[in-house]
Chains A and B, each alone.
Chain A
Amino acid sequence: GDSVTQTEGPVTVSESESLIINCTYSATSIAYPNLFWYVRYPGEGLQLLLKVITAGQKGSSRGFEATYNKETTSFHLQKASVQESDSAVYYCALGGDSNYQLIWGSGTKLIIKP
Chain B
Amino acid sequence: NAGVIQTPRHKVTGKGQEATLWCEPISGHSAVFWYRQTIVQGLEFLTYFRNQAPIDDSGMPKERFSAQMPNQSHSTLKIQSTQPQDSAVYLCASSPGGGRRDTQYFGPGTRLLVL
Contacts and interface: CB of A to CB of B under 8 A. Distances in A.
B100 A95 contact: yes
B103 interface: yes
Majority secondary structure of chain A interface residues (helix, strand, loop or mixed): loop
B48 interface: yes
Contact of A106 (B3, B42, B106): B42
A99 B102 contact: yes
A91 interface: yes
B45 interface: yes
B32 to A, nearest CB: 10
A44 B106 CA distance: 10
Nearest to B91: A46
The number of chain B residues touching the other chain, given as a range, is 20 to 34
B70 interface: no
A100 B98 contact: yes
B18 interface: no
Interface string B90-111: 0101000011111111111100
B59 to A, nearest CB: 8
Interface in A36-90: 38, 44-48, 51, 53
Given A46-B91, A53-B101, A91-B43, A100 B31 contact: yes
A33 to B, nearest CB: 10
Contacts of A47: 105-106
B3 to A, nearest CB: 8
A34 B95 CA distance: 15
A34 B106 contact: no
A102 interface: yes
B55 interface: yes
A93 B45 CA distance: 12
Interface of B: 3-4, 31, 33, 35, 42-45, 48, 50, 55-56, 58-59, 91, 93, 98-109
7 A-B pairs with least C-beta separation: A104-B43, A46-B106, A99-B100, A45-B108, A101-B45, A106-B42, A45-B106
Interface of A: 32, 34, 38, 44-48, 51, 53, 91, 93, 95, 97-107
